[in-house]
Amino acid sequence: MVAPTPHRDRSRTWQPAPEQLLYQSYSVEEDRIRTNVHYEQPPEFFYTLTGGEWNVYSCNLWMTGARNDTESQEAKLDLMARIMDLQPGQRLLDVGCGWAGPLTYFSKRYGVRGVGLTLSPTQKRCADERIARYGADVQVIEKHWKDYQPTEPFDAIFTDEVIVHFHDLEEFFRQAWDWLRPGGVFLNKEVHFTNSRHGATMQRGDVLIHEIYGLTGNYRTIAEELSFLDRVGFQLKRIVQIPLENYLKTARRWEENLLAGRKELEALVGPEYFHRFRAYLQLTRKILRSGKITLDAIASTKMDLPGFGAAPAQQPVYEGLT
């Protein structure tokens, strides 16, 4: 059901097969199986790849002078914490929490309590180990967001390069709105297409990337994301555009880490997967230079009342990091 589909040459101009296109709708169970095609790879593979103390598997921040993987991960997480205005004792939900590096860091550095969601049993096992090692006041639950029902509201909800896996994005935003306390913050950091047509013109390399993630990709424009947030009732607080040099450097570091551990990683995942993953990192760097995407952190607040009761945004609504 989830095996990658071989590329087909249908005519002189290559076209992806219908099942290779973006924006596929799957059941919760198929979503889980497909997403885990990637995240159930051995944790040692991802730990070597991402490096550093927190094994953050998303773009990190290098432009503020980070000297190594850990510093770049912490610089990115500190920026996210500032945007969410995390305060000690608050409850944070990290949807798509990986191996719980970010959640553990937020808990230890900012004193928040929290919950992380993942679809991967291996990630959950590794997350539990990390949480115990740090004595962090957080818990990771292996569940699809569609099946999650919190027992208490959250002060903040965070997604970092996760919603690309979500086909029903408006429905997810509606859930996030329900799970927040009035005035709570929802922060989503994600890559966005600079034009929706980029999603309809897939090249072979785009399909390879899509296949790495079990064909679960749903890349969107900021415009689409903002309109869903608006429809659900969120009030826009702040947009921070993260210069793509940070992602180029992150992807370069990941490739360097991969090559440094080549012998062990090839033995772990096989030379073919290693080679495909390396090709994926190289294609990612090409896309980062193509002008087709931006990387943006979008913070919104749950309005208190139908009468727009929440405090007005204090910062400029649009802000590019320089």
Ligand X SMILES: C[S@@+](CC[C@H](N)C(=O)[O-])C[C@H]1O[C@@H](n2cnc3c(N)ncnc32)[C@H](O)[C@@H]1O
In terms of CB distance, is 97 or 265 closer to ligand X? 97
CA nearest to 258, candidates 245, 271, 244 = 271
Q: Which of 45, 46, 57, 105 binds ligand X (CB under 6 A)?
A: 57
User: Nearest Cα to 211, choosing from 56, 42, 34, 43?
Assistant: 34
Give me the least distance between CB of 281 and ligand X, in Å please: 14
**Residue from 83, 119, 157, 265 in contact with ligand X (CB under 6 A):** 119
Q: How far apart are CA 220 and CA 222, in angstroms?
A: 7
Give phi and psi for 261, each to the nearest 5.
-105, 20
> Going by C-beta distance under 8 Å and a sequence separation of 6 or more, which residues neighbour residue 24?
167, 215, 216
Give the nearest distance from C-beta 95 to ligand X in angstroms. Answer: 6
Residue with smaller CB distance to ligand X, 35 or 301: 35
- Regarding 93 and contact with ligand X (CB under 6 A), the answer is no
Judging by DSSP bridges, how do beta strands 154-160 and 234-241 pair with one another?
Answer: unpaired
Using CB under 6 A as the binding criterion, the count of chain residues that bind ligand X stands at: 22
In this complex, which beta carbon is closest to ligand X, that of residue 7 or of residue 148?
148
Comparing CB distances to ligand X, the nearer of 163 and 235 is: 163
Nearer to ligand X, 165 or 220 (CB): 165
Residue 115 has φ and ψ, to the nearest 5°, of -130, 140
CB of 263 vs ligand X, minimal distance in Å: 26
Do residues 194 and 223 lie in contact, with contact meaning Cβ atoms separated by under 8 Å? no
> How far apart, in Å, do the first and last CA atoms of the chain sit?
45
C-alpha torsion sign, points 14, 19, 25, 26: negative
Task: Pick between residue 165 and residue 238 the one whose CB is nearest to ligand X.
Answer: 165
Smallest distance from ligand X to CB 27, Å? 11
Q: Which residue's beta carbon is nearest to the bound ligand X?
A: 96
CB of residue 73 to ligand X, shortest distance in Å: 8
What does 189-242 look like in DSSP terms, one character per residue? EEEEESSGGGGG---HHHHHHHHHTTT-----BHHHHHHHHHHHTEEEEEEEEP
For position 58 contacting ligand X by CB under 6 A, the verdict is: yes
CB atoms within 10 A of CB 130: 20
The piece of 97-105, 217-225, 238-246, 306-314 that touches ligand X (CB under 6 A) is 97-105
List the x/- string, 152-191, binding to ligand X by CB under 6 A.
Answer: --------xxx--x--------------------------
Name the one residue in this structure whose structure tokens are 């115990």. 132
Q: Which of 90, 104, 120, 188 lies at the binding interface for ligand X (CB under 6 A)? A: 120
x/- binding map, residues 8-47, to ligand X, per CB under 6 A?
-----------------------x---x---x--------
Measured CA to CA, the distance from residue 161 to residue 250 in angstroms comes to: 14
- The answer to the question of residue 199 lying near ligand X (CB under 6 A) is no
CB of 60 to ligand X, least distance (A): 9
Which among 246, 205, 266, 214 is positioned nearest to 45, based on CA atoms? 266
Site residues (vs ligand X, CB under 6 A): 31, 35, 39, 56-58, 95-98, 102, 117-120, 123, 144-145, 160-162, 165
